[in-house]
Chain A
Amino acid sequence: MIDTLQQLGAWALQRLERLGRSHLFILRVVVGLPELLARPGLVVQQIFAIGVLSLPIILVAGLFVGMVLALQLYNTMVNFGAEQSLGPVVALSLVRELGPVVTALLFAGRAGSALAAEIGLMKATEQLSSMEMMAVDPLRRIIAPRLAGGILAMPLLAAMFSAIGISGGFVVATGLLGVDSNAYWSQMQANVDLFDDVINGVIKSVVFGMVVTWIAVFEGFDAIPTSEGVARATTRTVVNSSLAVLGLDFILTALMFGDNG
């Protein structure tokens, strides 16, 4: 009994300590971010690497999510005679919710795990050490550009997810279900608000991009420098960042859309 309590305490302390370390870590990285303005090439390279890595899976997923959404919503809405409003409902679901969240989950699985593994391996093969000995700070040269790249790539990917999802919904709605194509677009334009819906969706995806990339680079940098340690860091990245995204999504949704009843 005492043993169990002791283990629980030790576990909690360890967790807290890691949490503290990850905050110090991100602080040191963020302080170095302005330096990147002088070397935008490093960030562009990372946006490209991260974006290209995740683009195929995000486009395919977006297309199918949009198509399924149209099918499911149509079946319900037709009972209320509201099937001509399919356009705005599909768009709102995607822009407000599914776009940022599903993109972030896929982003964690594809780009986050790759980032953690890459950085962990650089540590295990002494590349980070050798960089330090060459008087180059790996936090600034390796971590900072990746963090910036992740934060910038995420909203772009989420936007593409929503765009292709809306198009997928359109194809199903007009081609399969006989919704009027003018109604799909015009209703959407009338009912989707730039600030309330689109901007809030973008804010969500920026926050998710920040959290997922932070977790990925920290796990990689903090990995035990062996192949087993890198494998564990990769797994932890996907699990922790998925949970963080879902938890944060609830909080953000409550803050953004909770009070307009």
Chain B
Amino acid sequence: MLDETPLVEIRGLRFGYAGRTIFDGVDIDIQRGKVTAIMGPSGTGKTTLLRLIGGQERPDAGTIRIDGANVPALSRRKLFELRKRMGMLFQSGALLTDLNVFENVAFPLREHTELPEIMIRDLVLIKLEAVGLRGARELMPSALSGGMARRVALARAIALDPMLMMYDEPFSGQDPISMGVLVKLIRELNDALGMTTIIVSHDVNETAGIADYLYLLSEGRVVEHGTPKRLQESGSEWTRQFLEGLPDGPVPFHYPAPDFARELLELPSP
């Protein structure tokens, strides 16, 4: 437990979709046993970053080391071995629509373990209880609300007790009560099970509340990083605007576009 090297170490990360640069030299360290939040405006590439860490996209340059192994260089077999120790909560939940809630949570257990049915049942019920949906185990995903689907997906993601949990926008679509429970749950999972947690979010208050460390991303770069306390006292105008949610300032709200007034006056080309 004295291992001080970061669990995830990203260096010089460059990545783009078809010519559009998303990351332009990003360095990030995720410390073991800590909750690290990655925040930034919508469309900066937070989801993309998680996909890169999970090995679903390949960087154009740079390294992504998890526990010493460089993810983009791993063979498919090694990558799959690594993924068994990672849990990822997708922004949409991404439940398997032909299986009910119970079977969705049981899915990783059935695929990767030889546990007897009784133990699978108990494990699934424990995970579902943790997200407050034990009573919904017979429902099909189509009968769940968006927030409920995300909680089921969370139960599924932690089914194998991963060492690294990644959450993509865990708080959006949750009512205040389930939000509170969820915030506590993420913290507890991290501390009690000795996990390492990455949260990607733009919900400033909730995220800053549970994170040990924050990274702020914008326009392909890390703008600032530090403990929540340090960032709140930051002198940077950008950081203050983002954390306080002010409409005017250096953080752009718009997707890059030509001047609006000019575009309105332009004649449509035939």
Contact = CB atoms under 8 A, between A and B. Distances in A.
Interface in B94-124: 94-97, 107-108, 111-112
Nearest to B80: A135
B104 to A, nearest CB: 10
Contact of A127 (B54, B83, B94, B112): B94
B42 interface: no
Given A133-B83, A135-B112, A137-B80, A127 B97 contact: yes
Given A133-B56, A134-B111, A135-B81, A125 B86 contact: no
Interface string B67-106: 0000000000000110110101010101111000000000
Contacts of B95: 127, 130
Contacts of B111: 134-136, 141
Contacts of A121: 97
A184 B233 CA distance: 95
Contact of A133 (B81, B86, B97, B112): B86
Nearest to A49: B98
Contact of A134 (B81, B92, B107): B107
A125 B153 CA distance: 13
Interface residues of B, number: 20
A132 interface: yes
Give the most central of A129, A132, A134, A137: most B CB within 10 Å.
Answer: A134
Interface residues of A, number: 15
Main secondary structure of the interface of B (DSSP, over half): mixed
A133 B54 contact: yes
A126 B90 contact: yes
A130 B90 contact: yes
Nearest to B82: A135
A100 B86 CA distance: 47
Contacts of B94: 125-127, 129-130
Contacts of A132: 56, 83
Contacts of B156: 134
A130 B80 contact: no
Contacts of A136: 107-108, 111
B84 A135 contact: yes
Nearest to A118: B98
A134 B83 contact: yes
Interface in A126-175: 126-127, 129-137, 141
Contact of B97 (A125, A129, A141): A125
A129 B57 CA distance: 11
Contacts of B97: 121-122, 125, 127
Contacts of A130: 88, 90, 94-96, 153
Contact of A129 (B90, B107, B108): B90
A137 B80 CA distance: 9
A127 B97 CA distance: 8
A122 B156 CA distance: 17
A129 B54 CA distance: 10
A137 B56 CA distance: 12
A136 B54 CA distance: 13
A126 B97 CA distance: 11
B96 A127 contact: yes
B143 to A, nearest CB: 16
Nearest to A128: B94
A121 B92 CA distance: 14
Contacts of A129: 56, 90, 94
26 contacts: A122-B96, A122-B97, A126-B90, A126-B92, A126-B94, A127-B95, A127-B96, A127-B97, A129-B56, A129-B90, A130-B88, A130-B94, A130-B153, A132-B83, A133-B54, A133-B86, A133-B90, A134-B83, A134-B108, A134-B156, A135-B81, A135-B83, A135-B108, A135-B112, A136-B108, A141-B111
Given A134-B108, A134-B156, A141-B111, 15 more contacts: A122-B96, A125-B94, A126-B92, A130-B88, A132-B56, A132-B83, A133-B54, A133-B56, A133-B86, A134-B83, A134-B107, A135-B83, A135-B84, A135-B112, A136-B108
Interface of A: 121-122, 125-127, 129-137, 141
Ranked nearest first, the 9 interchain pairs of A and B with the lowest CB-CB distance are A130-B94, A126-B94, A135-B83, A135-B80, A135-B84, A133-B88, A134-B108, A136-B111, A133-B54
